[in-house]
Structure 1
Amino acid sequence: MPPLILASTSPRRRRLLLEHGYNFRVMPAEVTEIAPAHLSPGEITLFNARIKSHAIARHQPRSLVLGVDTVVAFEGEVLGKPANMEAAFAMVRRLNGRTHDVYSGVWLRHAKSGRERGFIDITRVHFRQLTDAQLHAYLARIGPLDKAGAYAAQDDRGELIDSLEGSFSNVIGLPMEALAGALREFSSLE
C-alpha cells in the first residue's frame, strides 16, 4: 500500500490509527469546512472529507490521503463544535436523555493512480438522562470545545452514553471497521 497521510489535526483520529497499527503521517488540510442547508448530514461530512483529501493529495500524489469529517445530527440539525462553554452546555442539554446520529464522511485519494473512494458511516447514540449539575461536571472534565456535539465518547466512562448502534470508533471520529475494508482496495498500489 502507498504511504498513508491523515489530513487531520484530530488527536483522536491519530490515536485510533496508531491503536490499529497503521503507519501514517499527519498533514492537516488547510480548508474551510462547509455545511450547506441543502445537503444531508452524511453529504456534508463526505464533501468535507473529500476537500480535505484533495487538498493534500494534489501535493502528495504518491501517497494515499485520508480525509475525514464527523458531525452530530439531531432532529435534522447538524451540531458542530461548540464556540464556548455556554454553547457546549446547550448542546449536551438538548441531547440529554435522547437519541442522535453521528455521521463520519471518509475520503481516500491516491492522486498518482487517479483512484479514490468515499463512504459515510452512521452510528446511533442513546444518551442517559443527567441533571444540569452532572452535565456541567461532565463538560468541565472533558473539555468539549474541539468536539462535535460537545461530548467525548472516548472519555465518557458510561456517564453520558447509555448505548449505541453501530461503530464506537465512528463516534470518536473515525469508523475503523469500515476504513479497514476501504484501505484494502488500495493495497495493490505503490
Structure 2
Amino acid sequence: MAAFGKELQSNKLCQLVLASSSPRRQELVASLDLSLPVRILSTDADESIEPTWSPAEVVEKLAERKAAAAAARLVAEESDKPSLVIGADTIVVLDGEVLGKPIDQQDAIATLMRLQGRSHDVFTGVACIHSQDGTTVVQHRHTQVWMKPLSQARVERYVATGEPMDKAGSYGIQGLGSTIVERIEGCYFNVVGLPLSLLADMLGPFGVDVY
C-alpha cells in the first residue's frame, strides 16, 4: 500500500471511476453529488476465493481486484487523467457460508427459505486506488440483517417479481425486499451494496470532500 504524500496532492483528481456495472452502486455514488465527474468502467475481474478467507477478507480482496482491473484499463488507454478508481463487493453470509447470486428461481427460493426467520450477515468491501501513483485504501463494513418468518407461498411470490435474481442473498433491501426484512443492525447502505459513510471517509485522504 502506497503512502499518502506530496505526490498524491500534486496528482489532483480529474474523475472518479466506479468499477461496477451495478445500477444500485451507480445511484448511490450519484447521490453524493460530488463535484468530480463519475465514469462507469466495469471489469471481468477474477472473483475466485480461497476457502480459508474470512468474509471480510473475501470482500476486501474482491473489491481491490475490481478496482485494480479498472485502473489497469485506464493505464492501457494511456489516460493522462488522474483518477480515483472505486471497487466494491458485497456478500451475504449464513452459518459461515457465502450466499451468492441465485442461478435460477428455484435457487432463489431455496436461499430465501434458509434466510427466513433468522439473522444473517452482509459484508461489503470498498477499495480506492489512485490511477497514477497506485495509492490504495481498502476497508469493509458489516451489517446484521434479520429476515421475517416467511411462508413458501410468499417467498415464491417475491421471487416471481424478478427482483432477487441479480442480488447476493436473493433479495434487495432497497426494493420489495424491504417488506421481508424485519430489522438490521449496522449500515443500511452496506446491505444495498455500497456503505456511503465508509466511502465518504475513504475519499477524504484523496482530497475528495463529500460536502
Normalising by structure 1, what TM-score? 0.94
1:113 partner amino acid: D
Gaps of 5+ in 2: 1-11, 76-81
Residue 101 of structure 1: which of 100, 121, 129 is its match? 121
1:44 partner amino acid: V
Task: Report the counterpart of residue 9 of structure 1 in structure 2.
Answer: 21
Quick check: 1:49 aligned with 2:63? yes
CA radius of gyration, larger in: 2
In the TM superposition, what is the alpha-carbon distance from 1:56 to its structure 2 partner? 1.2
Identity %: 37
Residue 27 of structure 1: which of 41, 51, 55 is its match? 41
Task: Report the counterpart of residue 7 of structure 2 in structure 1.
Answer: none
Quick check: 1:169 aligned with 2:189? yes
2:179 partner amino acid: E
* Deviation string, structure 1 residues 133-181 (Cα, Å, up to 9, x no partner): 1111112224212100000011036421111011111101000111001
1:156 partner amino acid: L
Aligned length: 188
Residue 156 of structure 1: which of 152, 172, 176 is its match? 176
On the 8 A contact 1:142/1:155 being kept in 2, the answer is no
Task: Report the counterpart of residue 90 of structure 1 in structure 2.
Answer: 110
RMSD of equivalent CA atoms:
1.4
Write the distance in 1 (CA, Å) between the matches of 2:121 and 2:111.
14
| 4+ residue runs over 6 A deviation | none
Write the distance in 2 (CA, Å) between the matches of 1:140 and 1:111.
42
On the 8 A contact 1:34/1:44 being kept in 2, the answer is no
* Deviation string, structure 1 residues 83-131 (Cα, Å, up to 9, x no partner): 0011101111000010000000110000312211000110100111111
Quick check: 1:63 aligned with 2:75? no
Task: Report the counterpart of residue 72 of structure 1 in structure 2.
Answer: 92
